[in-house]
Amino acid sequence: MTDEKIINLDDINYAIYKIGDWKNHYEINQIGLSHEIPVTKNTITHIKFSMDEIRNSRFEISDKTVNGFVAIALQLNPKVQEMKLEDVIELEETEFNNIMSELEELEVLSDDDTIPLDGEDYLIYKLEKDCHVTTSIPANKFTEEFFKNELKKIEDALD
């Protein structure tokens, strides 16, 4: 008998990705800046929900109301900070549409399948609800190491 924990791919408590690259280049949308490509229907649904949450956040910048992706990009991305606000808003809309299109075109694993929690073929995050916010916690050592390396890349890029 094995003690290996198995995850059902239809389990809504996990987000599962493969390491890869998006088809398009992205400057603003954090989803498109990652190297995590969703491999389950539930993960894609979670991503879409998260994107909607960020896009539905409203901020006032230079007498314009902008969504959360635009606001975050203007705070963190020096390249975007040099752009005209109207161009940033237009770029965010283009990126959002491209990501939605890419998400629709992805091949996903069957909901009927299972994978080992401690494998190294997929990045696996445990989703936990804290009030109205869902947090993604690396669920195994492979994902934790990848996550740490990605955070380091982001920190280095901001320095």
Judge contact between 133 and 6, C-beta under 8 A: no
Share of the chain above pLDDT 90, in %: 75
Q: Name the more confident of 43 and 130.
A: 43
Each residue's pLDDT tens digit, 23-65: 999 988 878 778 999 999 999 999 999 899 999 999 999 999 9
Q: What's this model's pTM, rounded to 2 decimal places?
A: 0.88
**Long-range contacts of residues 133-138, Cβ cutoff 8 Å, at least 24 apart:** 134/46, 134/50, 136/15
